[in-house]
Structure 1
Amino acid sequence: MPLQLHALIQRLSLIRHTLRWLLLSTLVGLLAGSASAILLLSLDWATDTREAHRWLIGLLPLAGLAVGLIYHYLGRSVEGGHNLILDEIHTDISTDPHVPRTTIPARMTPLILLGTTITHLFGGSAGREGTAIQTGAALADQITRLLRRLPFRFSEHDRRALLMAGISAGFGSVFDTPLAGAVFGLEVLTIGNVGYDAIFPCFIAAFVGDYTTAHLWHIHHTQYTVTQLSPLNPTTMLSAVAAGIAFGLTALLFARCTHAISHLFRRAIPYPPLRPFTGGILVALAVFAIGTTKYIGLGIPTIVAAFSQHLPRYDFAAKFAFTSLTLGAGFKGGEVTPLFFIGATLGNALSSILPLSASLLAAMGFAAVFSGAANTPIAASLMAIELFGPEAGAFAAIACVTSYLFSGHHGIYRSQRLSARKHPTSRSRDSKPQSPESPAPTPTH
């Protein structure tokens, strides 16, 4: 075959491949972006209703029991949540030929939307990224179910790319950060390794998902403004590193504390529905004891305030405690928005000892605590640039990378694989790298 003809065939094949994934990724983005819009509208309604009728918080134990019963009897197949999705992506069909290649049940989407809305309506402290990831990936996998019935080749590797695109679309659309969402879908799978095998689907799905949420559904995302910047010089760079260390250690403590509470509830309470019931009692009592709803729900007003005024230094610790207890007890929702709260308020508090403004440190903490807890420094840095601009983003990127180094090898996603140690001094058994064929940790809620 002449070289020119061979090259032409290759180009035509590439065009066909690109058009195919452009179509599939657009569909994933439309589905995930619509699910994120429904989620955001539901959470706005839940927050407004709870704040107007604070007596609803007293029903949090019953709400937890209801969510527990729903998942125990109807949602066991999707109880793993985002860890289930990561496990599905990690499964290697070449080494696991006997693993049944079933799709993620469609019920994951309505169950997690309902569970998250109930958590926020009755006063739990949780986020939204976990829900967006689950809805995006679960809806993407329904496309797999359809394509398998059509008379053309659709491989398990294609399914893996669809799931990653669903993660990217869900994350990018729920936070209005398509660049960060695209990279998050590639980076979150394995610590120390970013694969490019699904880079085109992830980017297209993330941007389409964000456009769907913001423009087709007309969802208005929260705007954060850094009011005072600092010049980038040796002193401020060292301050950013110091802040990053504090953010990383906080992320490490949050992940370990949340997992420890979850383990404690599983050991102490054998019947799963009673775990969020018990946790709901503790959270409701704490809210009524301190007399404020500042530390439940998403906490967006306090995050915004961290950029413009000095806040009590204990705000980050209070949100830390409420979120760890809520999620550890088995309520549904994500961790990332509470991590934004913890990071922004911790950065605000650090302004009293570091030569950086409270506003800039709030932006740095916003991104860096998330970076350390999720082990996604590149996605977190891109998020900071998208939300706060390149000048503040430069400081945030330094803090994100430093936080990533100091946050250990086990973050909020237990099914992440470890490809490479974060630094040469990590020699503990817990930080032993896993090959792609290594079994993933047991998924949690």
Structure 2
Amino acid sequence: MQLKYKNFFSILGQWIFFGSIIGIVVGSATNFLLEINDYLGDNIRAKKDWLIFLLPFGGIIIGYLYMNYGKVFLNNTLNDTAELNNLVIDSVHGKKEVPRRMGPIVYFGTFITVLFGGSTGREGAAVQMGGSVAAAVSKFFKVNRLDKKILIMSGISAGFGAAFGAPITGAVFGMEMAALGKLKFEALVPCLVASFVGHYITTASWGHKHEEFIIQHVPEISIITFLKVILMSVIFSLISVLYCQLRHGIQNFSEKLFKKNHMKRAFFGGIIIVVLTLIVGSQDYNGRGLEMLEQSFKEEVPPFAFLAKLVFTAVTLGSGFVGGEAIPLFFIGATLGNTLHTFMDLPMSFLAALGLIAAFCGGANTPIAAFLLAMEMFDGKGLEYFFVACLVSYLFSGHHGLWPSQKIYEPKSRLYNISHAETIENVEKKKKL
């Protein structure tokens, strides 16, 4: 009996130790990412509109990095860091390894994308850095293969929790991101520790302040309001599917057209973004778009802002630039909600918040994490509505998503004729056949 408790506390202490190390390193690295992104986006690019014309050349630099330094052979398997979050997910499933160089490469690529006006977010870089740090910790301490998967998940948690100031969400996101229909609760302790430590290192130790989105008014609970929320959640889920399909379609087309030459893909993608920017006559849809995202909670934004951001981001990331996709989905959902609030007779800030969460949920396929994000981001307001919105968005988005490597342990519903243990990528290929 004593031996059993001794083993229990030994393993518990081990998970806390590893989670803390990963949280400290990833929290500090994420703070660096956030601060540099803010500086490049707000203090340099916003004041120098001409930098957008250098985006195609920035694409050449990013492509060169990934083509010459992003591919690593480990355990007789090619691990291409250009696969981004998909490589991290594959490492959780034990198919591939996350090279230690992945974090620095994606950071540098994200900085170039933000500086020259590509439409992107930040959590992708934080998650990949988290996976990179977790892989380095696993190798240094010679962790076994099974525990290594759990540490990769805790790296994901640390990156997400630190990037958005949402430690509870981060803990669950690390367990939920890799697969649909399954949560690996064995990873709860290291994911929870890594996420909370990463968050407090970023905010308390380094003093970073995250953006705040405030719901001014939540409608009273009624059947009519719930029906409106369900209808809007279906719309938000479909817009997330449209983004995912367009983004992956552009990626597949550009890879085929340029024979997977990352430099050529990104160069021509950069030219398209420059042309789109000139057509729109504004740089509101370049970079992260945080200013208009915050505006969508307070006042009306251009009615087709959500569509412009969708196209800008799909072209940017689909052609080979790097960064996160959560903030662009936040933008798309929030601005669409802002546009439709008068038609639905719902408060502007409430519908913007609902769109932000539901669009992210539909794209990421993480309903529990999305609901927790709503609770942390909006101080628990509208709990019932957000819970329903996440479930509806998750169901109606079908088996599509931001990351083709996500494994479907169980279909979302019996309405979908999907085999178990398939990946989203394989499901898409079978549909085309």
1:54 aligns with 2:53: no
Specify the SS of the correspondent of 2:342. Answer: coil
More displaced 10-residue stretch of structure 1: 307-316 or 255-264: 307-316
Q: CA deviation at 1:378?
A: 0.6
Quick one: which of 14, 34, 44 aligns to 1:20? 14
Q: CA deviation at 1:435?
A: 6.3
Q: Within 5 Å, give how 1:27-66 maps onto structure 2.
A: 27-48=21-42, 49-66=44-61
Quick one: which of 289, 305, 308 aligns to 2:298? 308
Q: CA deviation at 1:105?
A: 2.0
| Equivalent residue, structure 2, for 1:194 | 183
Quick one: which of 144, 165, 185 aligns to 2:154? 165
2-structure distance, mates of 1:439, 1:407: 17
- CA shift digits 1:117-176 (9 cap, x unpaired): 10010010011111110001101110111112xxxxx32111011100000000010000
2-structure distance, mates of 1:69, 1:274: 10
Q: CA deviation at 1:391?
A: 2.2
Q: CA deviation at 1:392?
A: 2.6
- Is the Cα contact below 8 Å between 1:363 and 1:396 reproduced in 2? no
- Is the Cα contact below 8 Å between 1:141 and 1:162 reproduced in 2? yes
User: Which of 1 and 2 has greater Rg?
Assistant: 1
- Is the Cα contact below 8 Å between 2:94 and 2:149 reproduced in 1? no
Quick one: which of 273, 276, 282 aligns to 1:283? 273
| Equivalent residue, structure 2, for 1:95 | none
Q: CA deviation at 1:9?
A: 2.2
More displaced 10-residue stretch of structure 1: 114-123 or 263-272: 263-272
Q: CA deviation at 1:69?
A: 1.0
Q: CA deviation at 1:354?
A: 1.3
Name the aligned partner's letter for residue 305 of structure 1.
Q
- Is the Cα contact below 8 Å between 1:236 and 1:355 reproduced in 2? no
| Equivalent residue, structure 2, for 1:227 | 216
2-structure distance, mates of 1:288, 1:120: 18
Specify the SS of the correspondent of 2:219. Answer: coil
Extract structure 1 runs of 4+ deviating beyond 6 A: 438-442
Name the aligned partner's letter for residue 408 of structure 1.
G
Q: Give the 3 Å change call, closer, same or farther, for CA 176–252 of structure 1 in structure 2.
A: same
| Equivalent residue, structure 2, for 1:134 | 128
Q: What residue ranges of structure 2 are gaps of 5+ in the alignment? A: 73-80
- Is the Cα contact below 8 Å between 1:226 and 1:392 reproduced in 2? no
Q: Within 5 Å, give how 1:167-182 maps onto structure 2.
A: 167-182=156-171
Q: TM-score, normalised by structure 2?
A: 0.93
Q: CA deviation at 1:355?
A: 2.9
Q: CA deviation at 1:396?
A: 2.1
Q: TM-score, normalised by structure 1?
A: 0.91
1:11 aligns with 2:5: yes
Specify the SS of the correspondent of 2:200. Answer: helix
1:214 aligns with 2:203: yes
Quick one: which of 342, 345, 348 aligns to 2:338? 348
2-structure distance, mates of 1:109, 1:238: 44
In angstroms, what is the RMSD of aligned CA positions?
A: 1.7
Q: What residue ranges of structure 1 are gaps of 5+ in the alignment? A: 1-5, 93-100, 149-153
1:251 aligns with 2:246: no
Specify the SS of the correspondent of 2:382. Answer: helix
| Equivalent residue, structure 1, for 2:327 | 337
1-structure distance, mates of 2:5, 2:221: 46
| Equivalent residue, structure 1, for 2:359 | 369
1:75 aligns with 2:70: yes
